[in-house]
Structure 1
């Protein structure tokens, strides 16, 4: 069967957001408001910041504003992989912060557990499953990399297992699999939109005032605090936390550090019992293959398969636009690769196709800082691993706004920022050359060309 036939009835909308239980949006802010802490952005970053601020000090008056609806952007359309890693994986962390990687791993594990504890404490119904993730080898050269990753992970106390071909196919059955590395405890699967909506309700229950359809357009000092101009008014706050991530920061000097890279995903119809039996997957782990241009995939609560990744698209000029959320040529590519991986599922159809922008920075993991003499804090640059790490980023922003010296603020990862991206057209040319080089490496047993080696030496280290 031609894989494109599986897209015949696909809906161009994020599966997670296509939910009758989606909560009603709150009214926009009209006129002026005053508060102790203003949080800008209603994704995970902003929601965690508002919630933790109230947990630390219930008397704090916290306002959260969101330009559209809570969870509509990356937080409601990602794959739902909630990872402990704060560094975009052990390899990236070892390359950049070898002296503090043990501490970062400890903080990451503690952060993931805190998310799970919050899900339970606030009764958030988000299909939370602590099933782990398997990195899959589909080419012989990738097996050595997985063994090296396992040795490194075990040094940091990870609960993990290396799977040979038979053991891998006993977990999930595909003729393309040669082996795998199963991180059993460091990743949870979650319905990302339900997590965002649950955090929204938790914030409301703790007394956070939330205004949706309220775009922040400008920020300036006002007396001893800050004033943020919005669609229909202003908010005067003693402190401001910016959780806008991929969208242009109100602090203009931050903008060169982040570019929007578009990622795409498909969701299948629910698998029958026979179809599910044909691939196994009884332990419901998240999966990702080990190429530079990789796929990530997982089961939903109703046994659909989310299949995403591979293409990572940067559009010249670095704009975030609704028309970029759909890319039919990528849908065709993803569908083709899906049936190459699971030929036994021929005839299965996709019901949803969507994309979204990832806040990418040159070190692949979040960076942090303050502005306006410490009255404004921001975190950005999560590069696709923000479902878990945004909670850590919220803690960092609150530490910085409070002027606190903590274990988090002492980290080199927190104290230093990545290299900014160059202006156009150099930015676009550099990203395109990097993508081409990564594709070449995937088709050349992983061997990195001169361009990639140069980036490695400069500390840019594009590896995915």
Structure 2
């Protein structure tokens, strides 16, 4: 980092609060009491992020008389569900390219299910009056290097050839800069309908309210400590009591699963983000971001960015930090060296905004699996279901995962449970220190590919052949 760029980046961060922007909201609901004693229910949902909240809500929609309990180890939405960028995508496969590489024969079905899932989220926002700043703006993948222009054109052409290109618009340099003006933008691919922008914390808090209105009993500051069979059902021990349920749905994602054999399939990867102070009308005009789309660049080490309801820019991504041994640590929620790097990149993208300052800087752990999209399963003879591994694209896909878990617990054969994506598992991560070394080599290789016209070295090609083709 050049000295002048470092000074500019450091000055821009001097007032940044080390807390997630979304969670620092005066409208945040108070915590509900912890569970004490013994409770019984039909369905226990473990985890108060999107995965658990959607599961509880859909369970009550399917069977209003079902007694549903949800427990959350801290407060609803405090982890990844309240810290992400607020990109709610239709994709269930972490993008078109990943889906095509892994499930080409059912990609059309997966794309259709994803579109219907996003439509259902939009309908739920309206039906339950979820005040979460939902905007169906779409997202532009932008090219910042010449080889990325060609890659986006190839994605567009492949999608059209397969009959999946509706709503996709290829943008040249002038067209993309007419949408959002950055001197670094060389082209773009705009998915006009497949992504919505929203306030992630407000979505979680709204789902919490909706669940309670339907009769879901929610206990916060109540971690699930142990899962054991109890008679014909399952029991979960908590710090001050226990719950006995006929069925259990696990939505714990990045946190260690109560089904221990599931744990090797995910690792925590820390992601970081900044938000600016609100832009003035003149600053907004200088970048021309009138249509409020989400944006992401097309590098392997990519940035994601969007406009908030009060005209701040959220700017995140690039660094992805894996802790040795997969051990989560609250100290890793903040990483000043990454904040400096993100701030420098921000002003490279938008030099016309020099002097703008950042108001918030934070990080958090993402549940990452080797195929970059969720996996599913059951345990304890079908009495327990789980969904995990959303790899940073869970704002929308968790609702689909909730439906899958409920199908599995009901023993139903559905269009969802027939999917190869649902019936198969990713490769588990190896033990340490192999995982640490492998992830480190992969990160280095991805950075080299970004610097060398996208050319993947022998390591990345080997990962591709193993189904571990890290491309985001």
Quickly name the TM-score band, shorter chain normalised. over 0.9
User: What is aligned with 2:83?
Assistant: 77
User: Which of 274, 296, 299 is 2:304 aligned to?
Assistant: 296
SS of aligned partner of 1:216: coil
Q: Aligned pair 1:388/2:396, yes or no?
A: yes
User: What is aligned with 1:362?
Assistant: 370
Aligned length: 464
User: What is aligned with 1:450?
Assistant: 458
Please give the alpha-carbon distance, in whole angstroms, between the structure 1 residues aligned to 2:157 and 2:165: 10
Trace 1:409-428 onto structure 2 (pairs within 5 A). Answer: 409-428=417-436
User: What is aligned with 1:123?
Assistant: 129
Deviation of 1:150 after TM superposition, in Å, equals 1.2
User: Which of 272, 293, 300 is 2:280 aligned to?
Assistant: 272
SS of aligned partner of 2:324: coil
Trace 1:294-443 onto structure 2 (pairs within 5 A). Answer: 294-443=302-451
User: Which of 139, 149, 152 is 1:143 aligned to?
Assistant: 149
Deviation of 1:317 after TM superposition, in Å, equals 1.2
Please give the alpha-carbon distance, in whole angstroms, between the structure 2 residues aligned to 1:53 and 1:361: 26
Please give the alpha-carbon distance, in whole angstroms, between the structure 1 residues aligned to 2:80 and 2:284: 29
Query: TM-score of the superposition, structure 1-length normalised?
Result: 0.99
User: Which of 12, 15, 18 is 2:21 aligned to?
Assistant: 15
Contact 2:156 2:165 in 1 (8 A): no
Please give the alpha-carbon distance, in whole angstroms, between the structure 2 residues aligned to 1:79 and 1:131: 14
Please give the alpha-carbon distance, in whole angstroms, between the structure 1 residues aligned to 2:356 and 2:164: 41
Deviations 1:48-95 (A, max 9, x none): 000000000000000000000000000000000000000001110011
User: What is aligned with 2:188?
Assistant: 180
Deviations 1:324-372 (A, max 9, x none): 1000000000000000000000000000000010000000000000000
User: Which of 109, 117, 120 is 1:111 aligned to?
Assistant: 117
Deviations 1:411-447 (A, max 9, x none): 0000010000000000000000000000000000000
User: Which of 219, 235, 238 is 2:243 aligned to?
Assistant: 235
User: What is aligned with 1:57?
Assistant: 63
Deviation of 1:152 after TM superposition, in Å, equals 2.6
Trace 1:200-211 onto structure 2 (pairs within 5 A). Answer: 200-211=208-219
SS of aligned partner of 1:52: helix
User: What is aligned with 1:31?
Assistant: 37
User: What is aligned with 2:4?
Assistant: none
Please give the alpha-carbon distance, in whole angstroms, between the structure 2 residues aligned to 1:192 and 1:345: 26
Deviations 1:109-141 (A, max 9, x none): 000000000000000000000000000000001
SS of aligned partner of 1:307: strand
Please give the alpha-carbon distance, in whole angstroms, between the structure 2 residues aligned to 1:342 and 1:157: 30
Please give the alpha-carbon distance, in whole angstroms, between the structure 2 residues aligned to 1:318 and 1:109: 33
Query: TM-score of the superposition, structure 2-length normalised?
Result: 0.98
Deviation of 1:24 after TM superposition, in Å, equals 0.4
Deviation of 1:158 after TM superposition, in Å, equals 2.5
Deviation of 1:148 after TM superposition, in Å, equals 1.1
Deviations 1:291-334 (A, max 9, x none): 00000000000000000000000010101221110000000000
For structure 2, the residue ranges without an aligned partner over 5 or more in a row are 1-6
After the TM superposition, which segments of 4 or more aligned residues of structure 1 sit over 2 Å from their partners? 152-155
Task: Compare 76-85 and 142-151 and name the one that shifted more.
Answer: 142-151
Q: Aligned pair 1:47/2:53, yes or no?
A: yes
User: Which of 167, 170, 174 is 1:166 aligned to?
Assistant: 174
Contact 2:429 2:435 in 1 (8 A): yes
Deviation of 1:143 after TM superposition, in Å, equals 0.6
Please give the alpha-carbon distance, in whole angstroms, between the structure 2 residues aligned to 1:407 and 1:318: 34
Deviation of 1:153 after TM superposition, in Å, equals 2.9
Q: Aligned pair 1:95/2:101, yes or no?
A: yes
User: What is aligned with 2:269?
Assistant: 261
For structure 1, the residue ranges without an aligned partner over 5 or more in a row are none
User: What is aligned with 1:86?
Assistant: 92
Please give the alpha-carbon distance, in whole angstroms, between the structure 1 residues aligned to 2:10 and 2:350: 15
